[in-house]
Amino acid sequence: MRKKLVVGNWKMNGSRAVNAQLLAGFKDSGPWNADVVVCVPFPYIAETALALTGSATAYGAQDCSAHEQGAFTGEVSSTMLADVGCRYVIVGHSERRAYHAESDQLVADKAKAALAHGVTPIVCVGETRSEREAGQTESVVKRQLAAVIHTLGHCCGEIVVAYEPVWAIGTGLTATPEQAQAVHAVLRAQLHAATDRASSMRILYGGSVKAENAAELFSQADIDGGLIGGASLKVGDFAAICLAAAH
């Protein structure tokens, strides 16, 4: 049985005062019978680490560079993330792919860089609404994941995968449990063809997950938790989702 994983993605939100209240609330709400991670903006990583001391909740970042060091102004390397204790990093989020024109290969290179320094990449894949309506969901997510599998080789079994249909992110729309499970099954089959660790790998669902729909989503055979956006900014909502993952 794969232990569920719930990852809160704060995106570009927060302040020192707000974060302190949020993290104190998370700490008081746990522990849960699930692995829980908060991925916070770079400036708040150190304070998050301090606030979560003694907690079972881990912390991570929302992106990393594919480069280890050098003249890359504004970039943050996975070496740096490891140095400040990050255990996870999100790579290939649909917002990075759309707004920063990140290619499948760049996402794969970032995942490789993260693994090289002991940081687990949470690799995001997902289709747009037009791609789904055109019947391209399977081909899109398999193409995105294939780049990572090809680049990582036998190490691909060490990543976390997150399926996030772009049309369901921040829109209030959510894939039905059946729709989400169908894509997760496709991704699991693709991983099985690449690594003998596929059965133990965790594949998360992301896209307007709420306290009200989390339990049903997480009950699907190949959905191993969630990548949570807006709801991770509210203690009660995030705690309820973590509790749903624990059952």
Looking at 72-176, list the stretches that DSSP marks H as alpha helix, in order from N- to C-terminal side. Answer: 78-83, 94-99, 104-116, 129-133, 137-152
Amino acid (1-letter code) at residue 64: C
Containing structural domain, residue 162: 5-245
Amino acid (1-letter code) at residue 180: A
- Residue 80 · residue 119 · CB < 8 Å: no
> Of 52, 51, 76, which is closest to residue 65 (Cα–Cα)?
76
pTM recorded for the entire structure: 0.96
Residues 98-137 have pLDDT tens digits of 999 999 999 999 999 999 999 999 999 999 999 999 999 9
Confidence of residue 62 (pLDDT cuts 50, 70, 90): very high
Given the residues 95, 102, 127, 164, select the one marked as catalytic. 164
What average pLDDT does this structure show over 33-49?
97
- Residue 113 · residue 107 · CB < 8 Å: no
Structure-token pair, residue 120: 């687990």
93 given a catalytic annotation: yes
Cis peptide before 31 (omega within 30 of 0): yes
Judged by phi (left if over 0) then psi (alpha if -120 to 50, else beta), residue 241 lies in: alpha
Beta strands, E only, the chain: 5-9, 35-39, 58-61, 88-91, 120-125, 160-163, 203-205, 225-228
Residues 74-93 have pLDDT tens digits of 999 999 999 999 999 999 99
Instruction: Quote the CA–CA distance of 51 and 23 in Å, as a whole number.
Output: 7
What average pLDDT does this structure show over 177-188?
97
What average pLDDT does this structure show over 168-182?
86
What is the number of domains present in the chain? 1
Angle, alpha carbons 217-222-225 (nearest 5°): 50
**CATH number for 196:** 3.20.20.70
Given the residues 67, 93, 127, 212, select the one marked as catalytic. 93
172 pLDDT above the threshold of 80: no
Which residue carries 């989702």 as its tokens?
A: 241
Structure-token pair, residue 224: 């191993």
164 given a catalytic annotation: yes
